[in-house]
Structure 1
Amino acid sequence: MSPQRLLVPVLVVAAAVLVAVVVLVPRLSRPHVLSGYVEGEPLYMAPPVSGTVTQMLVQRGDRVAAGQKLFVVDTSQVGGARDEAAAQVAAAEAQAQDARKGQRPVELAVYDANIAAADAKVRDAAAVLNRVRPLVAQGVYAPAKLDDAKATYDSAAAAAAAARKQRQAAALGAREDQIRAADAQVRLAKANLSATSARLSDAGPIAPGPARVEDVFYQAGEWAIANQPVLALLPDDRVKLRFFAPEKSVALYRPGETVRFSCDGCPPDLTAKITYVSPRAEFTPPVIYSREARDRLVYMVEARPSTLLNPGQPVDVTPLEPKS
């Protein structure tokens, strides 16, 4: 056989071996690192009311500390609403106090008239009883006449006692329904005042923790709409690593475990603590697509780094080894 004919099978075999080396061997070998990236979750700061931005106290790229004021929105409208709510509280409290004072003298005069009429009936009934009693004893009237006179007197006396009790209750302010309604109005007015005061204090938001100002959407003098972001913060505790653990070793990655990682231009021996492991498997995302991980099922893992990093920065995570 001529050398030219032998060359073709040799080339075919060599090509097959090369494909096996390039494609199959990396799949069978274990990757030395897990590819990932830095992810940041912005925090959007917005005013609770619409108004003009009177002060913008930070700029894009600034570092802010916890409790630092970020911007101020004009609070004149909210201030007026708070004053109105305070006036409503005062009015409701006055009504509640008035309800506890009982009936006024003009209103009590009606009860006094009822008492006088009841007393008059008692006197008339007593006069009839005193007149009938001796006549019944003399036999002029039947005993039933005396029973009727006693019943009329007892009824008149009971009515007079009831009229006096009603007058006393009114004088002591026993208008329970009105008192409960007035107290409810006080609670409602105070709740409105509290909500308005909270909106007024929130008109100048503060940083909830150490953060970087990622972007500023409004400047001083511009009109900001309520609940629309004025700026975006990137808190330090919302910056995390996101990498993907192979399906075969995902059991090693549990919240609380520490992983080591590296990145370009970063100091050596960096660590991060795992905070979340996704319960769902997925194929390797294109952003970290590689021959070593191709066609493999992976689980997303999030970890909080021990140093400050920039979102989007690629990282290499050292795989965890089983504990002996």
Structure 2
Amino acid sequence: MNRLYFIPVILISFLISSCGKGDDEEYLELTGNLEAVTVTVSNKTAGTIIKLMADEGFKAEKGDTLAIIDTEALLLQLQQARANREAIQAQFLLLKNGARKEDIAQAESIYKQTEAAYKTSLTDLQRIEALLQSGSVTQKQFDDIQLVTETRRLQMASALENLNKLRSIARPEELMQAKARLDQAVAAEEIIAKSYRDCFILSPVSGYISKSFFEEGELVQPGTALFKVTNLDNIELIVYPEQTHIGKIQINDRADIMIDSFPDKTFKGKIVYISPEAEFTPKNIQTKEERSKLVFAVKIAVENNQNQLKSGLPADARIYLK
């Protein structure tokens, strides 16, 4: 289970803001803190971690395997479910498509052979019965021929029944029942297959492993947080302009971002979110007077192609107003 949220790292804009005008372009200066999107990677199935494939600081791409949970029991269940589904599928197709011509021809041949054998035995029985009355054969000889004749009659009846089944067309009700059994088998296989796939813990986003909570050999329950992945490609600066300035800021307004760690470099950004509701200044502000001011949260998406910017860094923003 992957939960997407922002790390709450000092979400302050110090409300040190100013307006200016340079090169005939008006701007607003604000200070805030950078935030990166962080995803908590959790497992969906219980089991023992048999392989850790990433540690803190590892750069993961979306879809990379971070860990593997013991799969042996689920693999056996999956093989069993697949074999069961294949058998039911074969039965359904046989019922749906009917028997092959070769099967019917073979069944006809078997029926004719058993029919001929029965007629021969019946003729022999009638002859032996006449000889029994004249005393030429014993009662045991008659009983033996009678038993053979009955056996061959049953074999002929069974062959005829099988031939009729192969010739008959399945009723709609029988097809519906067979299809329902197949659907049930397919669903059962998919449930186990999904549990098996869930044993491979994949990174839902590209980013750095900022936290790893378990080691190999440890037992985990469903829903346990295993990793935190921080995506530095999508980093934002949160600022809080006062209500007197909010009307001047619009979505897609461009901004220049300055970081103390990179004094000779300016990062590009643009406004991607303006809160629709005013709020009081965050509690981290020192004075009561400043905390009583109404402000609006504004998010600036900052270009960070080289992943130089880190979550939590303070930054200055110069928002250019249209």
TM-score, normalised to structure 2, is: 0.63
- Per-residue CA deviation, residues 113-142 of structure 1 (Å, 9 max, x unaligned), is xxxxxxxxxxxxxxxxxxxxxxxxxxxxxx
Residue identity matched to 1:214: S
Q: Deviations over 1:33-84 (max 9, x none)?
A: 3121112342112222111111111211222233332111111122122123
* Match of residue 204 from structure 1: 200
Larger Rg: 1
1:58 counterpart residue number: 54
Residue deviations 1:239-269, cap 9 Å, x none? 3221112223324433333222222213521
- Alpha-carbon shift at residue 87 of structure 1 (Å): 2.5
1:157-177 CA-partner distances (Å, limit 9, x unpaired): xxxxxxxxxxx9994323101
1:195 correspondence with 2:188? no
Relative to structure 2, which stretch is displaced further, 248-257 or 234-243? 248-257
1:146-194 Cα deviation digits (max 9, x unpaired): xxxxxxxxxxxxxxxxxxxxxx999432310110121122123223323
Alpha-carbon contact 2:68-2:200 (below 8 Å) kept:
yes
CA separation of 1:28 and 1:258: change in aligned 2, threshold 3 A = closer
Amino acid at match of 1:90: E
- Provide the C-alpha distance between the structure 1 equivalents of 2:257 and 2:64, rounded to a whole number of angstroms: 32
Distance 1:261-1:290 versus aligned 2 partners, 3 A rule: farther
Q: Give 1:40-51 correspondences, 5 Å limit.
A: 40-51=36-47
Q: Which residue does the alignment assign to 1:271?
A: 268
Q: SS of the counterpart of 1:174?
A: coil
Task: Provide the identity percentage.
Answer: 22
Written as runs of structure 1 = structure 2, the 5 A alignment for 1:1-324 is: 33-100=29-96, 101=98, 171-267=167-263, 268-288=265-285, 295-307=292-304, 308=307, 309-321=309-321, 323=322
Q: Is the 8 A contact 1:247 1:298 kept in 2?
A: yes
* Whole-Å separation in 1 of the counterparts to 2:171 and 2:56: 62
Q: Distance in 1 between matches of 2:251 and 2:181?
A: 50
Shift in alpha-carbon separation, 1:97–1:319, aligned structure 2, 3 A: closer
Mapped partners of 1:28, 1:42: distance in 2: 29
Deviations 1:171-224 (A, max 9, x none): 432310110121122123223323322332332223234311111111111112
Superposed displacement of residue 282, structure 1: 0.6
3-state SS in 2 of match to 1:276? strand
| Aligned pairs, number | 236
Offset from partner CA, 1:269-296 (integer Å, 9 cap, x none): 1122322221111111133557995543
SS at 1:192 equivalent: helix
Distance 1:201 1:250, change over 3 A: same
| Between structures 1 and 2, the one with greater strand share | 2
Report if aligned partners of 1:261, 1:315 keep a CA contact under 8 Å in 2.
yes
The amino acid that maps onto 2:310 is N
Write the distance in 1 (CA, Å) between the matches of 2:17 and 2:223.
Answer: 53
The structural deviation recorded for 1:315 is 1.6
Secondary structure of 1:95's partner? helix
CA shift, 1:238, in A, is 4.7
TM-score (norm 1): 0.63
Change (3 A) 1:265 1:206: same
273 and 286 in structure 1: CA distance in 2 versus 1, 3 angstrom threshold? same
Report if the CA contact (8 A) 2:56-2:212 is conserved.
Answer: yes
Change over 3 Å in CA distance of 1:200–1:251 after alignment to 2: farther
Equivalent position amino acid for 2:208 in 1: R
The alpha-carbon distance between structure 1 residues 91 and 27, as it changes in their structure 2 partners (threshold 3 A), is closer
User: Do 1:37 and 1:243's aligned partners in 2 also have CA atoms closer than 8 Å?
Assistant: yes
Do the aligned residues in 1 keep the contact of 2:60 with 2:209 (CA within 8 Å)? Answer: yes
Query: What is the CA–CA distance in structure 2 between the aligned matches of 1:260 and 1:28, rounded to whole Å?
Result: 14
What SS does the aligned partner of 2:49 have? strand
Letter in 2 for 1:256: N
SS class of match (1:42): strand
Counterpart of 1:136?
A: none
Q: Provide the secondary structure at the position in 1 that maps to 2:241.
A: strand
- Partner of 2:91, secondary structure, is helix
